[in-house]
Amino acid sequence: MRTPVLLTAALLVLSACGPDFELQSEIRRVRVLAIKAEPAELALDPNASTLPPPVTFNALTVTPDARPVTVTYALCRPDVNPYGDTGCPGPSGVALPDGVLSLSDPAVQALLIESFQVATGSTGGGFDLNDPAVQAALEAGLQLFVGYEATDGSGTPEGVERGVRRITLRSTQTPNLNPVMQDVLWNDAPLVGPLPLDTEVTFKPVLAEGSAETFTTADGTNTEQVFYSWFATGEGEVNSFRSLEPVDGKPGDPTTTYQTSKAPERITLWVVARDGRGGVDWAIRTVDVGP
């Protein structure tokens, strides 16, 4: 009796690899390709007596037919499983109106107290910034999770995406900054099109000077290795979903290749840059394929 079961499983695997299998680079539903925090992290200056400025979250949302998408955010409770059904936004989070996280918000402060208690093992009713355990947690960086829900209002499974975005609360005088995407090149020139039909073309992202920052850890001084995610609409195909910059002797190739369609069309290309420490930026290009 096991043969039919195994055969069915094999057929399911084969069907998942067929033409209806959604590639990571494809846009077939509401998707959140990235969420940018500005500033990139909550930085507490150890020598300052004021709170860090509020953080504003901005989502790069896309749909196959350019429908408008509404995004709501919430700061999640520390006991939320970020890889499961978070209920955040919802009962397991503090709503962040307009996508703004402010440490002056009493509800946010109450949740931060819980987060510090979990991080330090404290059971008191608050936390003391002079407590060595709290200082150690801030120096290492307290990981906070912001839940989001993006919806096009259709009420369909394809019309909504929920997830979490991590942000760090850290004691530092040199906070991390977002990288800056300056351009996308094709044949060493800014990508404007039209692209040739049924051809493999190469795209190269360009970062602004200083986007790859240096930072210090217990292992010494390091340079961020910025990596990219590529997405596109249309009938063509992104051949390399991920690419990365070479840095400090580490290998890398920031370019990707794209196989254009056989028929003329207009496509939109998105490339998202991430620095591995919470910094994000992106570039968007809409070009014609064919005459």
Of 79 and 282, the structure prediction assigns the larger pLDDT to 282
pLDDT digits (tens, 9 = 90+) for 214-271: 998 878 899 999 999 999 999 999 999 999 999 988 999 999 999 999 999 999 999 9
Q: Give the model's confidence band at 124: pLDDT under 50 very low, under 70 low, under 90 confident, else very high.
A: low
Lowest mean pLDDT among 16-30, 51-65, 121-135, 226-240: 16-30
CB within 8 Å of 231: residues ≥ 6 apart: 24, 25, 26, 27, 31, 33, 62, 238, 269, 270, 271, 272
Q: Give the model's confidence band at 110: pLDDT under 50 very low, under 70 low, under 90 confident, else very high.
A: very high
- In CATH, the architecture of 181-289 is Sandwich (2.60)
Q: In the predicted model, what is the mean pLDDT of residues 4-18?
A: 39
Nearest alpha carbon to residue 34 among 276, 212, 274, 243: 274
Nearest alpha carbon to residue 226 among 180, 289, 159: 180
For strands 70-76 and 31-38, give the pairing.
Answer: unpaired
pLDDT at 26: 81
Name the percent of the chain lying above pLDDT 90.
69
One-letter amino acid of 275 = D
Residue ranges of domains in the chain? 23-171, 181-289
Q: Give the model's confidence band at 162: pLDDT under 50 very low, under 70 low, under 90 confident, else very high.
A: very high
Contact call for residues 232 and 269 (beta carbons, < 8 A): yes
Q: Is it true that domain 23-171 has CATH number 2.60.40?
A: yes
d(CA 135, CA 270): 40
- Calculate the average pLDDT of the chain: 89
d(CA 85, CA 244): 31
d(CA 157, CA 151): 10
d(CA 89, CA 34): 17
Q: How far apart are the first and last CA of the chain?
A: 57
CB within 8 Å of 23: residues ≥ 6 apart: 237, 238, 241
Q: In the predicted model, what is the mean pLDDT of residues 7-13?
A: 38
Is the peptide bond preceding residue 190 cis, with omega within 30 degrees of 0? no
Q: Give the model's confidence band at 19: pLDDT under 50 very low, under 70 low, under 90 confident, else very high.
A: very low
pTM of the model: 0.87
Question: 23-171 with 181-289: one CATH topology?
Answer: yes
E strands in 39-92: 42-44, 55-62, 70-76
CB within 8 Å of 169: residues ≥ 6 apart: 41, 42, 44, 112, 138, 141, 142, 144
pLDDT at 126: 66
Where do we find the tokens 């040739």? 196
